[in-house]
Each structure stands twice: as C-alpha cells, then as structure tokens.
A and B are shown apart, each in its own frame.
Chain A
Amino acid sequence: MSLLSITAMQTRIGQYAVLHNISLEVPEGGVFVLLGRNGAGKTTTLRSIMGLWTPSPGSVTFRGRDLTGMHTAEIARLGIAYVPENMGIFGGLTVEENLVLATATGRFDKVRLARITALFPALETFWTKQAWALSGGQKQMLAVARAIIEPRALILIDEPTKGLAPSIVGAMAEAFREIAQGTTILLVEQNFQFARSLGRDMAVIEDGRIAHSGTMAEFAADKALQDRLLALSA
C-alpha cells in the first residue's frame, strides 16, 4: 500500500482551477520527486496535501486515512512535515527556538538533535542567533532540521535548492540522502540534476495535470521526454 495516495484531486484558488484530476501514489521510503515548470501546480499540490488549500473534489489519503477536510495542524500531527518554498523560518526567533517549537513536548531528543547538528553543523554555531540573521543556505538547513526534529513519516519539501550556492546544494543532497533512509520525502524541485541524484520514483506536473509518472532511472534515460516535459534543452 502507498504511504500517500492522491485521487482525482482538484484545487481551485479563488476562481482559478489550478489542479485538474491529479492522481499520485507515493510509496513508503526514499525520495519521490515531483517535477514541473514554473506555475505547473507543484506547490499547490503540496499545499493541498497539507490542508493549506482545500481540494474539492478528490481525496488525499495518508496510511489509508482520508486527509480531506482535516485541519492543517491535525495533518501535521499525523507525522507529515512541510518545508515551504520560502522556508517558513521564524526570523524573530533564535535557531534554538525555531527547533524547540517543532518538538512535540518542548524538549529535545538529545540523540536526534546530535544527528541533526552533525548533518547541519552551522546550526550549532548560530544556536542563539535570531534566524533572520542567517544566510539563505543556513535558513534552508534550519527549515529542514525543523522538519526532522521529531520522527516523521513523510516530509514535503518545496524547491529546497532555489537560490542556494552549489556547495550548499551538494551538502543538502547528502543530508536528504541520509534523511530518506528513515523517512519518505516528497520533493518538489526544478533543479533536475539535484532531483535526479536523489529520486527513486517521480512524476511530472504540467498545467495542473500529471503528465508523466514512473521511475527516475527511466525518466533520466529518456532525453526526448525530458525535453518535452521540462524543456531542459531550451
């Protein structure tokens, strides 16, 4: 059984229909990549899963449980974390406060925290600094760290490499590989090289519809399909 099933999901934002009959099966474990051009509907898909937009009609089920109509906070408490495109960092809070807010009890699991600071050593350096003072890459590390400070079954990550320096993108890929050993990641990405290095399964969204789905290996081997759906050579 899939970890996350999306069936005939349609999402409207105001009077505009953004998603049309999206159906997707995200298996448990590894990284599932959602590719697509700007404005294709990738972010709307993640926000609809999180309950930040309400899909109607259609359904989203997580471990067999219907998420449709559930409050975002209840969806999060089922074990789904969300890292938005703008990272959603609380700039007025320190790095420590950003992380402690995401814990279930207000206390850190020391083993887990040690693992996170090993993945992102910069966070320990800036532990008591307010988050607005961090660089873009450090903010992204904090956003991802916040998503894994508690055990999660699924992490939705929206374009984590946007605007990051290549060296940080490499470090982020390493971190995602390690996180994906114990958690499923649904990754929205436009950086195909980054996505390709991580993804096991994938889908492409085009104009609010699933235009292709399959394994990353197959998609990476089909240059003509990549050009048609992502216009990579353009």
Chain B
Amino acid sequence: MTRIGDILGRYGGVNLLPLFVAALGFVLIGAPASWVTLTVAGLAMGMMIFLMASGLSLVFGLMDVLNFGHSAFVSFGAFIAASALAFLGAWLGAENIALNIAAMGLALVAAILFGLAAGWFFETVIIRPVYKDHLRQILITMGALIVAEQIILMIWGGTPTAVPRPAFLEGAWILGDVSIEIYRIFAFGLGLAVYVALYLVLNRTRIGLLIRAGVENREMVEALGFRIDRLFVAVFMLGSALAALGGAMWAGYQTLISPALGAEMMIVVFIVVIIGGLGSIEGTLLGALLVGLVGNYVGFLAPKMALASNMILMMAILLWRPSGLRPAVR
C-alpha cells in the first residue's frame, strides 16, 4: 500500500482525484456524449465555486475568522451583475461582439468593485471587533448574512430575477453528439485565469509569501517586522471581490436568481474549503472541481442523491484526510 501511495504521490498524489472521479464517472455513465457534457458542466461549476470559495479559504487560514457572511458577497455579486446586465441590455443583444464583451466585462467589474468596498466595510465594522472569538464571529457573520438577504429582498424583491446573457455567450458548440454550452467554457476559462493569477501572486511575490507565511504563523510574521493586520484587510477585500465575481458568474449560469442564493451557496462553499484544506488555493481548486464533478455525475445517475453527494464526499475525504486534501499548514 505504501508503495502504491509513493507511486501515486510521484505522479501527482491527491491532484489526481478529479481525474479518478472523471474516469469513474465515465465507467458508470457509459454514454461518452453525456459524460463529456456532464464533465464540462462539472468543471465549469467547479471553477465558479472555486471563485466563491478561494477568498473564504484564505480568510479562514490567514485570519482564523469563521465568516458565515461570506456568501452575502456571492449574493450581492450575482444581483449587481444581473442589474448591470439588464441596464446594458442594448449592448447584450448587439451584433457587435465588442459591445457584448464590454457589457459582460462591466457587469463583472461592477460586482468586483462592490466586493472590494463591501469587504473593506465588513472587515472594519463587523469582523475586527470579534477577532479571536469564534462564537461571536459565527453569530455576527450569520446575522450579517441574514441582514444582507433582507437588503437584497428590499432592493430586488422576492420573485426570482432573470439574468440576461450577452449574445456571444449564448448557444453551444456541437461536436458530433456532444453539446458544450459556451457559457460553461467561459466560466471555466475565467476561473482558470483567476487561479493562475492567484497562484502567481501567492508563489512569486513578496506579498504572496507574507500571506502564505501568515496562514501558518501570524505571530512569527509580526516578529519578523510585518504588520499583518494591514494585510488582513487587503486579503479580506480580495476574498470578498472574488466571491462577488463568483456570484456574478453563477448568476449568468443559472439565468434566474433569488435572494436565497447566498444561503444555498454557503454550504457548498464551506464544503469545498473543508475538503481542500484551510488556507490553500490549490486545495480549494481541488475541492471545487471534485464537488462540481461529483454533483453533476450523481445528479445524472441518481438525481435523488444529488444533494447528499457533496456531504458524503466531504465525510469520505475527512475520514481519509482530517485536515483536508491540501491544507496550507501541515
């Protein structure tokens, strides 16, 4: 067993899990065309969940803050993007692809800007007074999530909001029997680009080095002469902006969103962070891809088990690796 573990470790170790799940899905599903469609959907969904969860993982790891209000940024991101897209409706349907792209870009930028500003406000006003007190963090951030939901209800109403898509992201690519939605390819590409950018920042810059060190031992980073509390605010803002971006992408994916979106996504986001291991971007990506793939395969094979599948996945991984797949701190 140890030898098999060593060989697997040499070729990628836990990073091979999504491939293993995809191969298992191929065997169980049987029909290659359905498998390709489900796999692409799973990867796209995984990347959007990665966007929502990556910030929470860093905040959890670096600041030891249990932020149950994180999904409020997802909700607001979704609704702000939906409003921006509706406002730019003329650009969405235009034949000029540049206007299409500009409309989508502006909607995403609006969500990101909101995430940055709301993240600063949330950290300064709500989180800062409850550092080092997990019980109060849970209570106050849960409260903030409920308040956020009510604000969304007040502004956008209780009926589901339709999210228009730009023309260039409508439709699907048909390859033989396989149909791949263009939006899913876009979501996957954007998620991958954000992952690469985050990876480069964390692994190739001094700020990234500080964040990785801070996730492991905040006190020691301060003893080396760095004000980590200032870094906290920046990381919190970044995490909130990524969550809002994830929410904006999710809105376009679902095309119909309700104020309960945040609370629904909160469970998935926490599952991903726990599966991946706290404070690790690589772990969050791995967890998000697994959740996306398993959710889609199980939804096809045994629809009644779809909701339970993520919980079962989390329990199985925690029994195997109690700290998650790739925790930042060993």
Query: Which A positions have Cβ atoms within 8 angstroms of B?
Result: 50, 52, 71-73, 76-77, 81-82, 84, 88, 90-93, 97, 100-102, 104, 106, 132, 146
CB neighbours (8 Å) of B222 from chain A are: 71-73, 76
Contact A90 B212 (CB under 8 A): yes
Q: Interface with A: B13-21, B223-231, B305-313, which one?
A: B223-231
The answer to whether B223 touches A72, judged by C-beta atoms less than 8 angstroms apart, is yes
14 sampled A-B residue pairs with Cβ under 8 A: A71-B227, A73-B224, A73-B227, A73-B228, A76-B223, A82-B223, A90-B217, A91-B216, A92-B212, A92-B215, A92-B330, A93-B216, A101-B224, A104-B225
Note all chain B residues with C-beta closer than 8 A to A102. Answer: 224
How long is the Cα–Cα vector from A91 to B226 in the complex, in angstroms? 18
Question: Dominant SS at the B interface?
Answer: helix
**Given A52-B223, A76-B225, A90:B216 Cβ within 8 A:** yes
B interface residues, Cβ below 8 angstroms from A: 206, 209-210, 212-213, 215-217, 219-228, 328-330
Nearest chain-B residue to A71 (Cβ)?
B227
Shortest CB distance A14–B (Å): 13
| A-B Cβ contacts below 8 A, count | 60
B225 touching A88 by the CB < 8 A rule? no
Which A residues lie within 8 Å of B210 (CB)? 101
- Do A88 and B223 form a contact, CB below 8 Å, given A93-B209, A101-B209, A101-B210? yes
Q: How far is the CB of B50 from chain A (nearest CB, A)?
A: 20
**Are A92 and B328 also in contact (CB < 8 A) when A101-B224, A106-B206 are?**
yes
Residues of B contacting A92 with CB < 8 Å? 212, 215-216, 328-330
Closest to B219 in A: A52
Instruction: Across the interface, name the chain A residue whose C-beta is closest to B215.
Output: A92
Q: Considering only CB atoms, which chain A residue lies closest to B279 in the complex?
A: A92
Known: A52-B219, A91-B330. 8 other contacts (CB 8 A): A76-B225, A77-B225, A82-B223, A84-B220, A90-B220, A92-B212, A100-B209, A101-B209
